[in-house]
Amino acid sequence: MSDIPMRYAIVIEDAGRNYSSYVPDLSGYIAAVDTAEETEQLIREAIAFHIESLIEDDLPVPRPRSRVEYAEVDATDPGRANARPLLSSASG
């Protein structure tokens, strides 16, 4: 495996009573706790553990494929045609 760090997208959702997170490129790994900071830390630890386990078992490490984009829209007219991405971050 390369020494180049891989960059996985992490999705953190406010679930009302807690926060949950998941990694689109690594199925089966989720975290749900009281704060966004805690769930981010736990999912980062889960990613590291998963990758270490794959390497120890001589299995391939999935390459990041997801990308995250944010779109700015006018809340008074969400169908406005000139909505544009604010941030685009390619994975990898």
* Domain assignment present for 73: yes
* Domain assignment present for 55: yes
**Domain total of the chain:** 1
Cβ-based burial of 91 (10 A; exposed 0-12, middle 13-18, buried ≥19): middle
* Domain assignment present for 3: no
Question: Where in the sequence is the domain holding 42, given as residue range(s)?
Answer: 11-89
Angle at 25 between CA 24 and CA 30, to 5 degrees: 55
| pLDDT band at residue 85 under the 50/70/90 scheme | low
In residues, how long is the chain?
Answer: 92
**Residue range 22-80, pLDDT digits in tens:** 999 998 888 899 999 999 999 999 999 999 999 999 999 999 999 888 888 777 766 66
- What pLDDT does 22 receive? 94
CA distances from 75 to 35, 71, 83 (A): 27, 12, 11
Rounded CA gap, 4 and 78, in Å? 40
